[in-house]
Amino acid sequence: MATEHDGWLQRVWYGKAPGGFLLWPLEWLFRGLAASRRAAFRTGLSDTRWVSAPVIVVGNLSVGGSGKTPLVGWLARAAQESGWQPAIVSRGYGGSEPREPLAVTSETAATVSGDEPLMLARDTGLPVFVSRDRYAAAAQAVAEGADLVIADDGLQHYALGRDAEVVVVDATHGHGNGHCLPAGPLREPVSRLAQADLVVRSNGEGGTSYRLAITEAVNLETGERRPLASFAGAAAHVVAGIGHPARFHAALEAFGIAVQPIAVPDHGRLEPSALSPGDGSPVLMTAKDAVKYTALTARHWVVPARVDMDDATATALRGLLELARTRFNERQGGPHE
């Protein structure tokens, strides 16, 4: 749902701002170009390239955050627990988006890797590779020993062949007004969901869904862990450079914290002075934000999110691992590295 702080375009997409019909001609142009591009890959006019390992893409239809990156981390860890040697690939949005594959380590600068790949590398301890050419990143991952590639985003990156697809739909925002860019938030029509192997709702209840839960904060200087309830009754400055910061604000407010937002765009980075407001109140931030900054002090805390899901959803996601393996084995006679 749009809020009073969103711009006109966001309110058109998710609210009731008038004038969206003015964008319909551009939407149909976008739809035509997107359909032509999909057809080019489907008919072989453009090449889809395959690597010599199963590939699972975790993506979404809408622009903006859907909570899919934490699910990528969950799926990668589940694969490792099942005996796979998984690697994660990403374009590395917000970083330098290198043309040649870059192996991301916990010491890589977020300005190079992008914030989400660095967060995944630190959180999972698994190999993470970034490149604007996702096929190149996947091929490098396989060359370095991965027997499963999980692509964070890239649902529309048809140059990379995939054996299974998971589409994440934000249960709060849904598909907005149902229109494609720029008249709505969709990069592909809702009908695209029928082609996915699994559709999972983030921040949802029931069905195939999961939630991102927060319970504690970790001090970024000392490593001290505190329950969020211990911040109740006082003000805290909050940094949330994510797609839908209002959700993070609301989750903190549920603990009785008086949230004072520090404005930052999705994937954005603040100047050091903005991270230390003069009143001395604590500064809470998402894990995606925390990886961007160094030399933080004892007043700075990261609030990690945990993926919570029921057994049925977990079973459905683990089933994709075997589906990807089966399809990979079936295509061994086709084009692959």
Tallying the residues shown for the chain, one arrives at 337
Place of tokens 């999909």: 38
Residue type, 52: S
Cβ neighbors of 107 (< 8 A, separation 6 or more) are none
pTM equals: 0.93
Per-residue pLDDT of the chain (337 residues), as tens digits, is: 444 446 788 889 987 687 888 999 999 999 999 999 999 999 999 999 999 999 999 999 998 778 899 999 999 999 999 999 999 999 998 899 998 999 999 999 999 999 999 999 999 999 999 999 999 999 999 999 999 999 999 899 999 999 999 999 999 889 999 999 999 999 999 999 999 999 999 988 889 999 999 999 999 999 999 999 999 999 999 999 998 898 999 999 999 999 999 999 888 899 988 998 989 899 999 999 999 998 899 999 999 999 999 999 999 999 999 999 999 999 886 554 5
Q: Measure the CA angle with vertex 132, ends 158 and 331; round to 5°.
A: 35
Question: How many angstroms separate the CA atoms of 64 and 146, rounded?
Answer: 29
* Alpha carbon distances (Å) from 128 to 61, 96, 116: 23, 15, 10
Q: How far is CA 192 from the centre of its chain?
A: 19
Which helix (H) or strand (E) segment holds residue 287: the answer is helix 287-290
DSSP one-letter string for 83-139: T--EEEEE--TTTT--SS-EEE-TTS-HHHH-HHHHHHHHHH-S-EEE-SSHHHHHH
Q: Give residue limits of the domains in the chain.
A: 30-211+310-333, 215-304
> Radius of gyration (Cα) for the chain, nearest Å?
20
Q: What tokens does 86 get?
A: 């998984």
- Count of other CB atoms within 10 angstroms of residue 80: 15
DSSP one-letter string for 16-77: --S-GGGGHHHHHHHHHHHHHHHHHHHHTSS--B--SS-EEEEE-SBSS--SHHHHHHHHHH
Question: How many angstroms separate the CA atoms of 57 and 162, rounded?
Answer: 7
Per CATH, the architecture of 30-211+310-333 is what?
Answer: 3-Layer(aba) Sandwich (3.40)
The partner residues of 309 in beta bridges, in order of sequence, read 210
Place of tokens 């075997």: 322
